[in-house]
A = this chain, B = another copy of it.
Amino acid sequence: MKNNNNCNGNFLHEEKANRVLSSIPGDEFLYQLADFFRILGDSTRVKIIKALAISEMCVYDLSKLLNVSQSAMSHQLRVLRQANIVKYRKEGKVVFYSLKDEHIERIIRTGIEHLKERTS
């Protein structure tokens, strides 16, 4: 006798379960993916990326313009560097940061659109 209220019997070990499982990336990739999104999950970093999308900038100016302490800025730039999101070039004692590519900013824009649709 099949108990329809036990959802467990519905599809586990069946075709649908496999379809679901095969659509989910492997653990290793999944972690990378979550790590990537977590980078965008901080308003300071989003600010930095948005700023660099307009123009390359030195640490000092970023710090002043975005109202973030020099130290915090440096720490966050390191995070973005290690995540391969920004690159830098040195000119004397000044270090100019810029986006490694514009893909990131496109993803942020997608998020912005998403939120705006949701709000309206």
Which of chain A's residues 97-120 have a Cβ closer than 8 Å to chain B? 103-104, 106-108, 110-112, 114-115, 117-118
Asked whether, in the complex, the Cβ of A30 is within 8 Å of the Cβ of B47, the reply is yes
- Could you list 6 further interchain pairs (A-B, Cβ under 8 angstroms) beyond the known A20-B54, A103-B114, A106-B110? A7-B58, A8-B64, A16-B55, A38-B38, A38-B42, A110-B110
**Count, chain A residues at interface, CB 8 A:** 63
**Interface of A with B (CB < 8 Å)?**
5, 7-8, 10-12, 16-17, 19-21, 23-25, 27, 29-43, 45-47, 50-51, 53-55, 57-58, 60-61, 64-66, 84, 91-94, 96, 103-104, 106-108, 110-112, 114-115, 117-118
